[in-house]
Amino acid sequence: MKKIIFLVCLSFALTPALFAKEDPDSSKLLLEQLKAYQLMADSINNAMHYETGVISLPGGLVKLNIPRGFKYLGVEQSKYVIKDVWGNPERNDLLGMIFPENGGPISDSSYAFIISFEDMGYVKDHDADEIDYKEMLEEFHKEEPGMNAQRKSQGYPSIHMVDWAQPPFYDAKNKVLHWAKELKFEGEETNTLNYDVRFLGRRGILSMNAIATMEQMPRVKTDINQILTIPEFTEGNRYADFKDDNTDKIAAYTVGGLVAGKVLMKIGFLAKFWKLILLAVAGIGGFIVKLFKRKKERELVYHSAPPSSTDTNIPS
């Protein structure tokens, strides 16, 4: 998939010259090309194995109650989507993804919540009302050059945090923290929405990070109340089950530090880069068709298909 993305991006620079030399059959070639990419997209979507209902996550700390209108994608296929389809850094902490019922990895009108758990211990929440959001944003901008230098060295585009799409909010009753960032990825015309939700438990935090474009913000906000009811810590692992007797681990971060500290800097910088493929197809003529001319259409589809996995667990 990365090879295909590279070739598509390269073709942007070659487009004018290609069209200048186009023969009368160029329209036919473009249609064949569009068909090949549609088959590839269908192959990815059709290979996904979704689940609904009650799902126990690895480790036994959390279970999900996937309601009508949503669906869960297991660990291995979630890894494939994030790394190979969307072109983001590999994630080893994944517990799966949640999509709207009519959504999927390749859908402009959809979003996805990425699920992970960080075994950081019990997060104290006494300072939740003391967060200075403006100062936090300024601090974040100071951190951007160093963070982007590291991303560049790893072959990923730089990121600029435009603003809070929603300032951090802590629900003290339900022990849930959430905020939203508007991000500008280098080379992307549309800004990206990362909507972060943190569920506090006895032994750490369950993270759910929504990946979408800013255009999907209204839909995410509409669905968020349902999303917040999906995870549930199991008996003995809830926030209220914490034992203050020096046996339970206490996190280095408080709620305020969780938002303001390095956790915010490193979590949630993902985007749906697969769009580069489909956006480029309309303007590249027969370039990629010629490159892949020797391959059968079936081979192209199978080469790009995700792993078929019915096992949604990872080692605990």
Q: pLDDT digits over 89-139, tens only?
A: 777 888 999 999 988 888 767 788 999 998 999 999 988 887 777 888 888
Q: For 237, list phi and psi in degrees, rounded to 5.
A: -120, 10
Task: Tell me how crowded residue 308 is: count the other CB atoms within 10 A of its CB.
Answer: 10
Q: What distance in Å separates the CA atoms of residue 76 and residue 93, rounded to the nearest whole number?
A: 11
Residue 186: per-residue pLDDT: 87
Residue 294: per-residue pLDDT: 39
Low-confidence ranges of the chain (pLDDT < 70): 1-27, 108, 259-316
Contact yes or no for 237/62 (Cβ under 8 A): yes
Residue 151: per-residue pLDDT: 82
The structure tokens listed for 270 are: 């993902």
47-275: which CATH topology?
Protein Transport Mog1p; Chain A (3.40.1000)
Task: Tell me how crowded residue 204 is: count the other CB atoms within 10 A of its CB.
Answer: 21
Q: Where are the beta strands (DSSP E) in 172-204?
A: 176-185, 192-200
The structure tokens listed for 267 are: 């979590």
For residue 312, what are the CA distances in angstroms to 48, 49, 75, 87, 235?
12, 9, 5, 21, 22
Q: What distance in Å separates the CA atoms of residue 118 and residue 267, rounded to the nearest whole number?
A: 11
Q: Look-up: residue for tokens 């059959």?
A: 25
Residue 277: per-residue pLDDT: 36
- pTM reported for the whole predicted model: 0.72
Per-domain residue ranges for the chain?
Answer: 2-45+279-304, 47-275
Task: Tell me how crowded residue 235 is: count the other CB atoms within 10 A of its CB.
Answer: 7
Q: What distance in Å separates the CA atoms of residue 280 and residue 271, rounded to the nearest whole number?
A: 17
CA-CA-CA-CA dihedral for 225, 227, 229, 235, to nearest 10: -150
Q: For 37, list phi and psi in degrees, rounded to 5.
A: -70, -35
Residue 259: per-residue pLDDT: 66
